[in-house]
Amino acid sequence: MQIQKIILYSLSGEKRVLPFEIGKVNIITGESKSGKSALIEIINYCLASSGCDIPEGIIRDTVSYFSILVKFKDSETAFIARENPNVKGVQASTTVCLIRNLGDNLPELDELNSNLNIDSLKEFLTRKIGVSENVHVPDSLTREPLKANFKHSRFYCYQPQYLVADPYQLFYNQNKEFVPQSIKDTLPYFLGAVNENSLAIESEITQLKKLLNRLLREKRESEKIKSEGISQAFSLIDEAKEIGILEKSVNPQNQKDAYSFLEYVSKWEYQPLEVKAENSALKELIDKRSELKTELSKISDNKKAATDYLKNSFGYSSEAKQQEVRLESINLYNDSNQDKSLCPLCENDLTNPIPSIDNINKSLANIREDLKFTKAESPRIQSYIDSVETQYHSLETDLKRVEKSISALYVQNEKARTVRDLNLRRGKIIGRVSLFLESVVVEQETESIDSKIENLKTRITNLEKEVDSDNEKEMLLSILNKINLQMSKWVEGLDVEYEDNPIRFDINRLTMFIDSETKPIALPQIGSGANWVAYHLLIVFALHKHFIQNDRPVPNFIIIDQPTQVYYPPEKSDNVVEVSADEIAVNKMFDFMFNVVESLTPNLQVIITDHAYLNNDRFRNSVTEIWRDGLKLIPNDWLPKEGTSTVYNNV
């Protein structure tokens, strides 16, 4: 797969087309901040990336759709368009527009209709580049098996500006979580070190081992049941007898009889106790009891008040009666005209006049009247007290009857609960018996399980013989040795240190070593950005040469951003780099890339974005666009006019 075009659609539907030649070096040179570094992320976004790493700013403010036109080995083309996530305010669009064998006419903006989700696009690209069924099963089984797909093939196609001179990582996204392990797991497949037939066999072995483990577990369970055997059957029978499912006289003599009785227990049907809804009646009785107690309390208070009144009235009448007797006993007041200044007894003069006899007589009359009223009221009060007593005893009788009813309901509910618990126990024993009888069936099938286990073990053993893991390790080592040898030959044409020493790629550490005469030197220890760029180019081109020569399922393009950054400052804006001490090294680097691409033509495409513009024919003939003097990735007329803001339309 190689890139034919990058097509950007403006918000109003205008197109910006970047064409590239298949099987050649394509160079875009230009100023800083012209959009060169965004090309890698635009292509990656269109090729089913889960996120969108296209830089924010002018590009994402002016583009509605990002799209590319790719060509596969079978000459089929595919137009892939993906909406700018800013249009709908999302992290990344989850759908794409895929048009196969489009031809020369690019679709207009209103013709772009999403017809595929990202996962389906990934599966399509995986099939088109030729990734076969595969799976990597980790030896330690500490993580899930990994299946190589198109996503894993892109690690070797991009060398962004931040990566191409990084001594600590060689491949795209190597600094992200889980990616280094994914590279280690899938690179052997892409290199062809793994027999693709053996991958399918290993997958089958994994499934068979899962089935074998399940059968072994079932066998262990059945053997446990068998070890308990008849003792558990007799124990279940005793429990069934205890709760009344079986008669007490039941006494099985052998295993067959025991299983027969258990079959009866498992099919025994019972009717759960139907308890009447007594809760409502109980509640009514309790409420009635509360009402009666309240009434009794009121009547008791009335009775006490009447009794107290009667006692007080009796005390008053007794005192008044004594006073009447005392006044009458004097009996001296018949003469109403007697001189009131003389004592009626001794007839001596009185210092203070005594009350008149009329007044005394009036008092005596009042006392007699009060005594008459008191005597008249006493029988009525006593009658009231008697009626209150009668009402009190009646309510007290009702209360005792209600209390007895409440106690009876409590007893009845307790009996119902006991019967209900018994039925629950019966249900539990029936369930246990049913489970036991099912286990007996498993026990009877032990022979068939044993035969299945033996067949699976034989099948797994035969399949394992077909997979030679040691041979795969030797194959991987052989391939890596060839790649290392190729890099050691190529390094002579680059301006690097240790050019006379062998170069080695370590797949386990994902770094490179230079085997000097004294010791191996890791890439970060070499120093110099020029060395780091050179070794990045060596490993990437060596891998792609191997991919192409062995027809491996990896896209046949490499995109490199700013490979000359370690030689020239980004702010340099001259069209031509003047001859300098560094130009020899830069020319060697570009000649190296030209030579490799030409040796593999038309199977490898290289797209380079850089500030530099070299003064030689090979470089000039490979330049597709020069982004200077106002020409950039985004045309100036796409930019919003001053004083206006960008408006996104759902297109």
Query: For residue range 48-106, what is the model confidence (pLDDT) as tens digits?
Result: 999 999 999 999 999 999 999 999 999 999 999 999 999 999 999 999 999 999 888 99
Nearest in space to 189 (alpha carbons), one of 160, 155, 142, 144: 155
| pLDDT number for residue 275 | 46
Separation between Cα atoms, residue 592 and residue 25, nearest integer Å: 11
Alpha helices in 71-111 (DSSP H): 85-88
Q: At what angle do helices 255-266 and 357-444 cross, to 10 degrees?
A: 130
Alpha helices in 130-250 (DSSP H): 150-153, 161-164, 179-191, 196-242
Separation between Cα atoms, residue 422 and residue 272, nearest integer Å: 9
Separation between Cα atoms, residue 331 and residue 337, nearest integer Å: 15
pLDDT tens sequence across 353-388? 666 555 665 665 666 565 555 555 556 666 777 787
pLDDT at 278 over 60: no
| pLDDT number for residue 140 | 47
Question: Which sign does the torsion angle of CA 511, 514, 519, 525 carry?
Answer: negative
Per the model's pLDDT, the better-predicted residue between 601 and 651 turns out to be 601
pLDDT tens sequence across 403-420? 777 776 666 666 566 666
Neighbours of 464 (CB within 10 A): 13
Work out the average pLDDT over 265-279. 59
* SS3 per residue for 431-481: HHHHHHHHHHHHHHCHHHHHHHHHHHHHHHHHHHHHCCHHHHHHHHHHHHH
pLDDT at 110 over 80: yes
Bridge partners of 193, per DSSP, are none
| pLDDT number for residue 651 | 34
DSSP state of 154: G
pLDDT at 349 over 80: no
Q: For strands 25-30 and 605-610, give the pairing.
A: parallel
Nearest in space to 173 (alpha carbons), one of 41, 65, 319: 41
pLDDT tens sequence across 145-171? 567 889 999 999 999 999 999 999 999
Report whether 114 contacts 82 (CB < 8 A): no
pLDDT tens sequence across 290-307? 888 888 888 888 777 777
Confidence of residue 442 (pLDDT cuts 50, 70, 90): very low
Per the model's pLDDT, the better-predicted residue between 218 and 329 turns out to be 218
| pLDDT number for residue 247 | 78
Separation between Cα atoms, residue 572 and residue 628, nearest integer Å: 11
**Cβ-based neighbours of 192, under 8 Å, separated by 6 or more:** 475, 479, 550, 552
Per the model's pLDDT, the better-predicted residue between 237 and 180 turns out to be 180
Report whether 514 contacts 498 (CB < 8 A): yes
CA atoms within 13 A on the CB side of 291: 8
| pLDDT number for residue 401 | 78
Confidence of residue 447 (pLDDT cuts 50, 70, 90): low
Separation between Cα atoms, residue 463 and residue 383, nearest integer Å: 112
pLDDT at 215 over 80: yes
Most confident of 242-246, 396-400, 522-526, 567-571: 522-526
pLDDT tens sequence across 5-49? 999 999 999 999 999 999 999 999 999 999 999 999 999 999 999
Most confident of 299-303, 404-408, 455-459, 602-606: 602-606
Most confident of 127-131, 248-252, 357-361: 127-131
pLDDT at 617 over 90: yes
Separation between Cα atoms, residue 521 and residue 57, nearest integer Å: 42
Per the model's pLDDT, the better-predicted residue between 336 and 186 turns out to be 186
Any idea which of 275-284, 390-399, 584-593 has the lowest mean pLDDT?
A: 275-284
Separation between Cα atoms, residue 421 and residue 244, nearest integer Å: 13
- Provide the token pair at 135: 């799976």
Phi, psi of 402 (to 5 degrees): -65, -40
**Cβ-based neighbours of 161, under 8 Å, separated by 6 or more:** 37, 561, 562, 565
Q: For strands 503-506 and 77-83, give the pairing.
A: unpaired
Nearest in space to 466 (alpha carbons), one of 212, 197, 209: 197
Q: Which helix (H) or strand (E) holds 345?
A: none
- Provide the token pair at 267: 């099919």
| pLDDT number for residue 137 | 52
**Mean pLDDT, the chain, as a whole number?**
81
Q: Which helix (H) or strand (E) holds 356?
A: none
